[in-house]
Structure 1
């Protein structure tokens, strides 16, 4: 199936291409330079990490992941399924995220999903496969497609940082609808992923500035 990806060597030239067409994107580059090339390996641990990031701060999720690493060593499905709920709580897991991570671990062991196989599939096929799993919705899948598989044209409409950065960058009202935001992001096709990384960079840089 066809899909579009980008590589680290292409990243800055893609940023430049977007900046040439969008003055607001150019302003991000002029003020804050290029974003980091955010990347994660295609592993069970990465998906656990993304689940932990659901609706909490990046720092909080990383603290929980590090606590789990310290406790079990390598994070594998087998080791996850050997833990009791009490052990999960000791690693700062909520009851809900304990359930999600256990379900993911079992799905991998049962070969309901194959992470290496996902690398060869279309964005839509990946979304269909992963959305069958408990606790994995569009935001989690968007982050996986962006950070792990480097799919080129993803805009995570459920990501508050990206959405708020878009509103601020384009001077859009706080109450701007989801439909209008998606329409605005469509201007960056077929490289909405690169634009999203620029939005995150803008959002984080603005926070540091404050």
Structure 2
């Protein structure tokens, strides 16, 4: 019988899930043999982490980290209220595009008016978390899934559209092309209720690639 996934993933839970996936799919066991156990890639829950994830969309991790660090220097401590106190020019100078500055303000406003309550998210199921997050302008499926995976430790969060995950699938299964988001999602059905752990294994595989052959925009979440 397949083990039921817990609400929050721990190091011990990660190891059990990796072992289970390795039994189901020998290629996953090979990832661990070659590259070791994947990390949790966990982050503290809350406003700052969600902003950092939003910054990571469609840019390099280094660029997102630099913008996040500049933001924290401007707003210390970084809260919804302190972000709303910054001028648009300050956000642009920190490295926010016009669109991402608008999205950041939308998240901060939702926190201030109470429509986005980070303390309530752990008590919701995955669909409930997604619904709360995606009700805010600028938060799409990938951002919501990465927040569930890294900040809430949800073991079945699947980062639809993640290029590094897709590249890891192409590597392991020796596919002629990187699979589409829909193709990757279909393949991941076999990995329930541990799809977030499968994603970590695929990031582990991806990171073993030489940098020159990594796909543009492909990246695991910040550790």
TM norm. shorter chain > 0.5 = yes
| 1:70-89 alignment runs, 5 A limit | 70-89=73-92
Partner in structure 2 of residue 109 of structure 1: 112
**Distance in structure 1 (CA, Å) of the matches to 2:114 and 2:175:** 45
Partner in structure 2 of residue 13 of structure 1: 16
Partner in structure 2 of residue 56 of structure 1: 59
Partner in structure 2 of residue 180 of structure 1: 183
Cα gap change, 1:23/1:129 in structure 2, threshold over 3 Å: closer, same or farther? Answer: same
**Distance in structure 2 (CA, Å) of the matches to 1:100 and 1:84:** 14
Q: CA deviation at 1:183?
A: 2.0
Q: Which runs of 5+ in 1 are unaligned?
A: none
**TM-score normalised by L of structure 2:** 0.88
**TM-score normalised by L of structure 1:** 0.93
Q: Which runs of 5+ in 2 are unaligned?
A: 214-223
Q: Of 167, 170, 183, which aligns to 1:167?
A: 170
Q: CA deviation at 1:71?
A: 2.0
**Distance in structure 2 (CA, Å) of the matches to 1:64 and 1:89:** 9
Aligned length: 209
Cα gap change, 1:153/1:88 in structure 2, threshold over 3 Å: closer, same or farther? Answer: same
CA deviation string 1:151-199 (max 9, x = no partner): 1112212111111111221122326444332221111111011010111
Question: What's the C-alpha RMSD, in Å, of the aligned pairs?
Answer: 1.8
> Greater CA deviation, 168-177 or 133-142?
168-177
**Distance in structure 2 (CA, Å) of the matches to 1:133 and 1:78:** 17
Task: Provide runs of 4+ in structure 1 moved above 6 Å.
Answer: none
